[in-house]
A and B are shown apart, each in its own frame.
Chain A
Amino acid sequence: MSPHHGGPDWAAVEAAAGLVLVAGAAGYAAALWAARHRGPWPGGRTVLWFAGLGCAGASLLGPLAAAAHGSFVAHMVVHLLLGMAAPLLLVLGAPVTLALRALPVAGARSLSRLLRSRPVRVVSHPVVAGTLNAGGLWVLYGTGLYAAMHSSAPVHAAVHAHVLLAGYLFTAAVVGVDPDPHRGSLRLRAAVLVGFLTVHAVLAKRLSGDPPAGVGTADAQLGSRIMYYGGDAVDVALLVVFFAQWYAAGRTRTAPAAV
């Protein structure tokens, strides 16, 4: 579909994505090393972080990323990996907690000041993060943006950056494990989660009848089914994490009252 794919712009986008992923891996490893004297770090978190980077890498580099330029089905697999699976894995890797352990006191203080700052507080609010995430998808498939991202490398890079970042913010706001000074109430997070699941399901079904310009009917129908059922798979994982946190929080509630 895109005759431009393979030009120098596209190579630059892939190289930038590769650099970001390598920085993510190196940064996490360096923080593990810097915090090695501060007691054991759960190995599962490390595995989840690198699995998240792997998901993002599979969707941004290599054969799947190349196929996504011409195929809506491949694009949808990329969307699920980059916008839903990678964010969930990365959030469960608890990078902020690790950074707070690894940084010297002054650095850790600045980081926690940053987390408490107004802009961070606004974008990490569950409703705002959910709107950024679902709204971004609505704009991508409902306007000419989908066609634009396949003819312009910078637009392509911006869309992918938004999908990953908005997915991360949303996941962290709903089931985050890192310290969050303004975490929403359980009820609010449940409502945002159900709201997002709804929008995702509606959008997936609408895409099968009303695909973006330039996408063939068969490609659109299979792609929308992948979005619907694949989205369900990640959403069920999100719900399991959400309720597992509720269950764990109830330990204190059911313990014999400490009076």
Chain B
Amino acid sequence: MADAPAARSGRAPEPAGPAGQDRRTVLAGALLGAGIAASVVDLAVFHLILHWHHFYDLSTTGVALFSDGLFHAFGWFVTVGSLFLLADVRRRGPVSRGRWAGALLAGLGAFQLFDGVVLHKVLRIHQVRYDVDLLLYDATWIGTAVLALAAGLGVLHRARPARAAR
């Protein structure tokens, strides 16, 4: 792909070549992981299947409610956007499955970690579950998040491009 003039037409400059392709693959994976954690896991598993999260507990403050809505909106935005980004990467050239999957796992873990620490404990938007001793639930939530993040980073590292030409 020729690199210089293509980026002139009103869009942010796009790094070309294998490095740009790899960067976009990792970005698409990480965003999909975060989006799945934010929208799909939270909505499908904890709201609709387990009924552990409350839809709205009346103690929620205005700030917490607003941040909850903002994360919700971002969750869907990055879930849909990252799939189209992956399609865009594929149409530009070959995609490394390992890099994409590793980034997905890392993104999922990173968002769950953020959710478990910042949203549950700092902003207190909602808790994992109500009317139970939270310590075990929080430890499991944060522990699996750290495991997923570590596993994702491990896969990313193993699948890294062979050449160190960056």
Shortest B20–chain A CB gap in Å is 12
In chain B between 1 and 20, which residues have their CB closer than 8 angstroms to a CB of chain A? 1-2, 5-7, 9, 11, 14
Contact status B84-A247, CB under 8 Å: yes
Closest residue on chain A to residue B57 by CB atoms = A209
Is B52 close to A, CB under 8 A? no
Contact status B76-A239, CB under 8 Å: yes
Is B154 close to A, CB under 8 A? no
Is B137 close to A, CB under 8 A? no
Contact status A257-B84, CB under 8 Å: no
Is B118 close to A, CB under 8 A? no
Closest residue on chain A to residue B93 by CB atoms = A254
Residues of A within 8 A of B87 (CB): 247
Q: How many pairs of residues, A versus B, come closer than 8 Å at their CB atoms?
A: 85
Contact status B69-A254, CB under 8 Å: no
Contact status A243-B14, CB under 8 Å: no
Contact status B91-A253, CB under 8 Å: no
In chain A between 170 and 216, which residues have their CB closer than 8 angstroms to a CB of chain B? 190, 193-195, 197-202, 205-206, 208-209
Residues of B within 8 A of A20 (CB): none
Tell me the bound Cα distance from A239 to B1 in angstroms: 29
Residues of B within 8 A of A243 (CB): 80-81, 83-84
Give the one of B2, B43, B66, B80 with max A CB within 10 A: B80
Closest residue on chain A to residue B73 by CB atoms = A197
Taking a contact as CB atoms closer than 8 A, the residue among A194, A221, A252, A253 that contacts B77 in the complex is A194
| Given A201-B73, A225-B55, A239:B80 Cβ within 8 A | yes
Closest residue on chain B to residue A241 by CB atoms = B80
Is B135 close to A, CB under 8 A? no
For A216-259 the 0/1 string (1 means CB < 8 A from B) is 00000100110010001001100110111011001011101101
Contact status B74-A194, CB under 8 Å: yes
Contact status A209-B56, CB under 8 Å: yes
Tell me the bound Cα distance from A225 to B56 in angstroms: 10
Closest residue on chain A to residue B83 by CB atoms = A243
Tell me the bound Cα distance from A257 to B4 in angstroms: 9
Tell me the bound Cα distance from A241 to B113 in angstroms: 31
Tell me the bound Cα distance from A160 to B55 in angstroms: 28
Residues of A within 8 A of B5 (CB): 257, 259
Give the one of B14, B70, B84 with max A CB within 10 A: B84
Contact status A205-B6, CB under 8 Å: no
Residues of B within 8 A of A195 (CB): 73
Residues of B within 8 A of A199 (CB): 69
Residues of A within 8 A of B92 (CB): 254
Shortest A28–chain B CB gap in Å is 29
Contact status A257-B2, CB under 8 Å: yes
| Given A197-B72, A197-B77, A205:B84 Cβ within 8 A | no
Residues of B within 8 A of A190 (CB): 77
Residues of A within 8 A of B80 (CB): 236, 239-240, 242-243
Is B151 close to A, CB under 8 A? no
Shortest B91–chain A CB gap in Å is 6
Shortest A122–chain B CB gap in Å is 23
Contact status B68-A205, CB under 8 Å: yes
Closest residue on chain A to residue B72 by CB atoms = A201
Residues of B within 8 A of A197 (CB): 69, 72-73, 76-77
Contact status A205-B56, CB under 8 Å: yes
Shortest A194–chain B CB gap in Å is 5
| Given A190-B77, A194-B74, A201-B73, A256:B9 Cβ within 8 A | no
Shortest B48–chain A CB gap in Å is 9
Given contacts A239-B77, A259-B2, 10 further A-B contacts (CB under 8 A): A201-B68, A205-B65, A208-B55, A209-B56, A239-B76, A243-B81, A243-B83, A254-B6, A254-B91, A257-B1
Residue contacts A-B, CB under 8 angstroms, 5 given: A201-B69, A205-B65, A236-B80, A247-B84, A254-B1
